[in-house]
Copies of this chain bind each other. A is one copy, B any other.
């Protein structure tokens, strides 16, 4: 029946990719259900799913659990070296950003944080967890730790907006240097749950350590992005 020179699921993939590339299916639109996609070619559901997994890995489509597969919107451009907030740069790209604060508590500095902040173990820190969305799709979970002695009462403020501007305008905290670590990761457990994605979805973990002009660590931030939501762009002088 089918050509043996091309894998069947790659053939199905190409068919769907064409319908997306050709404009028949537009960003945000739902694909036909897996069972509907079978009937066209007399192919097993498992094979259709294999094709969908490919397209998901490529970032062309994404899923809403038990609701369906949807065409992905374009990624946003993110420059972690800029001291500019999510709300600001997402909006500048014509998208609609949103932030939810999942939790904010005061914690005691543990060994790892003590080392990062050069503060004694037990020193008070604020720990903030937020979920950020673009056009109503959750795209990242972030976990922020701020030295409480530098920003007393921080968590009493509304943190659903820009943490950047709160730190700057209320506490006069500016950032002079940034250490940024990035690595491909899988979204699992807590992160997957909070983003409502299947465990194992590829992601990008971005870890930022922010220093002020005096070289003190003012903020330690770890973000888990879904892989299809961003493009990182950095412009730097070579050392």
Tell me whether A112 is interfacial, beta carbon within 8 Å: no
Contact B183 A82 (CB under 8 A): no
Tell me whether A228 is interfacial, beta carbon within 8 Å: yes
Closest-by-CB residue of B relative to A81 is B236
Closest-by-CB residue of B relative to A229 is B184
Number of copies: 2
Known: A177-B236, A238-B177. A54 touches B199 (CB 8 A): yes
Contact A235 B57 (CB under 8 A): no
Residues of B within 8 A of A227 (CB): 184, 202
Residues of B within 8 A of A200 (CB): 53-54, 57-58
Nearest CB of chain B from residue A112's CB, rounded to whole Å: 17
Could you list 12 examples of A-B contacts with CB < 8 Å? A10-B199, A58-B188, A58-B200, A83-B238, A83-B239, A177-B237, A180-B235, A182-B232, A182-B233, A183-B230, A184-B204, A202-B202
